[in-house]
A and B are shown apart, each in its own frame.
Chain A
Protein backbone atom coordinates (compact mmCIF):
# COMPACT_ATOMS: atom_id res chain seq x y z
CA UNK A 1 0.00 0.00 0.00
CA UNK A 2 1.30 3.43 -0.91
CA UNK A 3 1.33 6.13 1.67
CA UNK A 4 3.21 8.32 4.08
CA UNK A 5 4.68 7.10 7.33
CA UNK A 6 5.77 9.25 10.23
CA UNK A 7 7.63 8.16 13.28
CA UNK A 8 7.45 8.21 16.16
CA UNK A 9 3.74 8.71 16.88
CA UNK A 10 4.47 10.32 20.25
CA UNK A 11 7.70 12.05 21.20
CA UNK A 12 8.80 13.61 24.44
CA UNK A 13 11.70 16.01 24.57
CA UNK A 14 13.46 17.88 27.30
CA UNK A 15 13.97 21.58 26.90
CA UNK A 16 17.20 22.41 25.12
CA UNK A 17 17.31 19.19 23.08
CA UNK A 18 17.10 18.87 19.33
CA UNK A 19 14.79 16.16 18.00
CA UNK A 20 14.24 14.77 14.50
CA UNK A 21 10.87 13.67 13.16
CA UNK A 22 10.85 11.11 10.38
CA UNK A 23 8.70 11.28 7.24
CA UNK A 24 8.85 8.66 4.48
CA UNK A 25 6.64 8.30 1.41
CA UNK A 26 6.40 5.60 -1.26
CA UNK A 27 3.99 7.51 -3.49
CA UNK A 28 6.74 8.70 -5.82
CA UNK A 29 5.71 12.32 -5.22
CA UNK A 30 8.21 15.09 -5.85
CA UNK A 31 6.75 17.67 -3.45
CA UNK A 32 6.67 17.22 0.32
CA UNK A 33 5.57 19.47 3.17
CA UNK A 34 5.79 19.85 6.93
CA UNK A 35 2.96 21.43 8.90
CA UNK A 36 2.45 22.28 12.52
CA UNK A 37 -0.99 22.11 14.14
CA UNK A 38 -1.81 23.53 17.55
CA UNK A 39 -4.98 22.55 19.43
CA UNK A 40 -8.10 23.90 17.77
CA UNK A 41 -6.09 25.53 15.01
CA UNK A 42 -5.44 25.09 11.32
CA UNK A 43 -2.27 23.84 9.71
CA UNK A 44 0.71 26.16 9.36
CA UNK A 45 3.46 25.46 6.87
CA UNK A 46 6.96 25.00 8.28
CA UNK A 47 9.01 23.91 5.25
CA UNK A 48 8.37 22.43 1.84
CA UNK A 49 10.43 20.74 -0.83
CA UNK A 50 9.51 20.48 -4.48
CA UNK A 51 12.43 18.31 -5.50
CA UNK A 52 15.38 16.42 -4.06
CA UNK A 53 18.15 18.62 -2.63
CA UNK A 54 15.92 21.68 -2.61
CA UNK A 55 13.62 23.07 0.08
CA UNK A 56 11.99 26.37 0.98
CA UNK A 57 10.90 28.03 4.20
CA UNK A 58 7.23 28.19 4.95
CA UNK A 59 5.42 30.64 7.21
CA UNK A 60 6.89 29.46 10.54
CA UNK A 61 10.37 28.07 9.74
CA UNK A 62 12.23 29.64 12.68
CA UNK A 63 13.63 27.00 15.01
CA UNK A 64 13.22 24.18 12.48
CA UNK A 65 15.45 22.60 9.85
CA UNK A 66 14.94 20.01 7.12
CA UNK A 67 16.85 18.00 4.56
CA UNK A 68 15.82 16.30 1.32
CA UNK A 69 18.57 13.92 0.30
CA UNK A 70 16.21 11.31 -1.11
CA UNK A 71 12.88 11.62 -2.88
CA UNK A 72 11.24 9.33 -0.34
CA UNK A 73 12.44 11.07 2.81
CA UNK A 74 11.90 14.54 4.30
CA UNK A 75 12.96 14.61 7.97
CA UNK A 76 12.23 17.62 10.19
CA UNK A 77 14.52 18.67 13.05
CA UNK A 78 13.01 20.70 15.85
CA UNK A 79 15.89 22.61 17.36
CA UNK A 80 16.32 24.11 20.81
CA UNK A 81 15.77 27.51 19.17
CA UNK A 82 12.08 26.71 18.71
CA UNK A 83 10.54 28.41 21.74
CA UNK A 84 7.23 26.55 21.87
CA UNK A 85 7.64 23.21 20.09
CA UNK A 86 4.80 21.28 21.73
CA UNK A 87 2.40 20.57 18.87
CA UNK A 88 1.10 18.01 16.37
CA UNK A 89 3.39 17.74 13.33
CA UNK A 90 2.07 16.55 9.99
CA UNK A 91 4.02 15.58 6.89
CA UNK A 92 2.38 15.60 3.48
CA UNK A 93 3.09 15.05 -0.19
CA UNK A 94 1.24 16.26 -3.26
CA UNK A 95 -0.17 14.72 -6.36
CA UNK A 96 -1.79 17.28 -8.64
CA UNK A 97 -4.41 19.02 -6.49
CA UNK A 98 -4.51 16.65 -3.53
CA UNK A 99 -2.27 16.55 -0.48
CA UNK A 100 -1.75 13.20 1.22
CA UNK A 101 -0.94 13.32 4.92
CA UNK A 102 0.95 11.03 7.23
CA UNK A 103 -0.53 10.04 10.62
CA UNK A 104 1.41 12.77 12.44
CA UNK A 105 3.82 13.00 15.35
CA UNK A 106 2.68 14.52 18.61
CA UNK A 107 5.66 16.27 20.22
CA UNK A 108 5.61 17.26 23.87
CA UNK A 109 8.35 19.25 25.54
CA UNK A 110 8.77 18.41 29.19
Chain B
Protein backbone atom coordinates (compact mmCIF):
# COMPACT_ATOMS: atom_id res chain seq x y z
CA UNK B 1 0.00 0.00 0.00
CA UNK B 2 0.89 3.65 -0.09
CA UNK B 3 0.98 5.71 3.07
CA UNK B 4 2.25 8.93 4.54
CA UNK B 5 2.68 9.35 8.28
CA UNK B 6 2.70 12.66 10.10
CA UNK B 7 1.82 13.63 13.69
CA UNK B 8 -1.83 14.46 14.23
CA UNK B 9 -1.26 17.49 16.47
CA UNK B 10 1.53 19.86 17.45
CA UNK B 11 1.37 22.76 19.90
CA UNK B 12 3.89 25.60 20.17
CA UNK B 13 4.09 29.17 21.43
CA UNK B 14 4.40 32.38 19.46
CA UNK B 15 7.94 33.09 18.33
CA UNK B 16 9.05 29.48 18.68
CA UNK B 17 10.25 27.02 16.04
CA UNK B 18 8.31 23.87 15.20
CA UNK B 19 9.13 20.90 12.97
CA UNK B 20 6.47 18.71 11.38
CA UNK B 21 7.78 15.36 10.18
CA UNK B 22 6.50 13.21 7.35
CA UNK B 23 7.54 9.68 6.46
CA UNK B 24 6.25 8.06 3.33
CA UNK B 25 5.93 4.66 1.74
CA UNK B 26 4.85 4.87 -1.88
CA UNK B 27 5.34 2.83 -5.02
CA UNK B 28 6.83 5.81 -6.86
CA UNK B 29 8.40 9.07 -5.73
CA UNK B 30 8.86 12.25 -7.71
CA UNK B 31 8.65 14.85 -4.99
CA UNK B 32 7.31 15.86 -1.58
CA UNK B 33 5.02 18.87 -1.18
CA UNK B 34 3.61 20.71 1.80
CA UNK B 35 0.24 22.45 1.97
CA UNK B 36 -1.36 24.66 4.60
CA UNK B 37 -5.09 24.64 5.27
CA UNK B 38 -6.87 26.99 7.64
CA UNK B 39 -10.09 25.76 9.20
CA UNK B 40 -12.85 25.68 6.59
CA UNK B 41 -10.56 26.93 3.83
CA UNK B 42 -8.77 25.55 0.82
CA UNK B 43 -5.24 24.12 0.97
CA UNK B 44 -2.50 26.45 -0.22
CA UNK B 45 0.90 25.39 -1.51
CA UNK B 46 3.93 25.97 0.71
CA UNK B 47 6.84 24.07 -0.79
CA UNK B 48 8.08 21.28 -3.02
CA UNK B 49 11.22 19.14 -2.72
CA UNK B 50 12.29 16.80 -5.50
CA UNK B 51 15.92 16.47 -4.43
CA UNK B 52 17.56 15.88 -1.06
CA UNK B 53 18.24 18.91 1.04
CA UNK B 54 16.70 22.02 2.49
CA UNK B 55 14.54 24.54 0.66
CA UNK B 56 13.92 27.87 2.40
CA UNK B 57 11.06 30.26 1.74
CA UNK B 58 10.87 33.04 4.26
CA UNK B 59 9.91 31.69 7.69
CA UNK B 60 9.20 28.24 6.26
CA UNK B 61 11.74 25.61 5.25
CA UNK B 62 11.26 22.09 3.94
CA UNK B 63 13.69 19.21 3.98
CA UNK B 64 13.84 15.92 2.10
CA UNK B 65 15.88 12.75 2.49
CA UNK B 66 14.93 10.29 -0.23
CA UNK B 67 17.11 7.52 1.20
CA UNK B 68 15.17 7.71 4.48
CA UNK B 69 11.77 8.34 2.81
CA UNK B 70 11.47 11.29 5.15
CA UNK B 71 10.86 14.97 5.06
CA UNK B 72 9.92 17.79 7.37
CA UNK B 73 8.47 21.26 7.37
CA UNK B 74 10.14 23.78 9.66
CA UNK B 75 8.25 26.86 10.74
CA UNK B 76 10.23 29.62 12.43
CA UNK B 77 9.17 32.71 14.36
CA UNK B 78 5.71 31.26 14.81
CA UNK B 79 2.76 33.61 14.58
CA UNK B 80 -0.82 33.09 15.67
CA UNK B 81 -1.88 33.04 12.01
CA UNK B 82 0.23 29.91 11.51
CA UNK B 83 -2.40 27.93 13.44
CA UNK B 84 -3.70 25.61 10.73
CA UNK B 85 -3.45 22.08 9.39
CA UNK B 86 -0.35 21.11 7.45
CA UNK B 87 -0.34 18.28 4.93
CA UNK B 88 2.56 16.52 3.31
CA UNK B 89 1.89 15.04 -0.13
CA UNK B 90 3.89 12.78 -2.42
CA UNK B 91 3.87 12.99 -6.19
CA UNK B 92 4.07 9.34 -7.13
CA UNK B 93 4.15 9.56 -10.90
CA UNK B 94 6.26 11.45 -13.39
CA UNK B 95 3.56 11.85 -16.02
CA UNK B 96 0.66 12.95 -13.84
CA UNK B 97 0.40 15.56 -11.11
CA UNK B 98 -1.47 13.18 -8.84
CA UNK B 99 -0.70 13.66 -5.17
CA UNK B 100 -1.06 11.28 -2.24
CA UNK B 101 -1.83 13.26 0.90
CA UNK B 102 -1.02 12.53 4.52
CA UNK B 103 -3.72 12.84 7.18
CA UNK B 104 -2.51 16.27 8.21
CA UNK B 105 -0.97 17.83 11.32
CA UNK B 106 -2.96 20.39 13.27
CA UNK B 107 -0.67 23.11 14.58
CA UNK B 108 -1.91 25.21 17.45
CA UNK B 109 0.09 28.33 18.22
CA UNK B 110 -0.44 29.73 21.71
CA UNK B 111 0.35 33.26 22.92
Q: Is the interface of A mostly helix, strand, loop or mixed?
A: strand
**Which residues on A sit within 8 Å (CB–CB) of B97?**
31, 33, 94, 97, 99
- A-B contacts at CB below 8 angstroms, number: 55
A residues within 8 Å of B by Cβ? 31, 33, 35, 40-45, 48, 50, 58, 90, 94, 97-104
A sample of 13 more A-B contacts (CB under 8 A), given A42-B4, A99-B45, is: A33-B97, A35-B101, A42-B103, A42-B104, A43-B87, A43-B89, A45-B99, A97-B48, A97-B91, A99-B97, A101-B42, A101-B44, A102-B42
B residues within 8 Å of A by Cβ? 4, 31, 33, 35, 41-45, 48, 50, 87, 89, 91, 96-104
Best-buried of A31, A42, A45, A100 by chain B (most CB within 10 Å)? A42
Contact A97-B44, Cβ < 8 Å, known A42-B87, A48-B98: no
Selected from A44, A45, A98, A104, the residue in CB contact (under 8 A) with B42 is A104
Contact A97-B103, Cβ < 8 Å, known A31-B96, A48-B98, A90-B43: no
CB distance from B66 to the nearest CB of A (A): 16
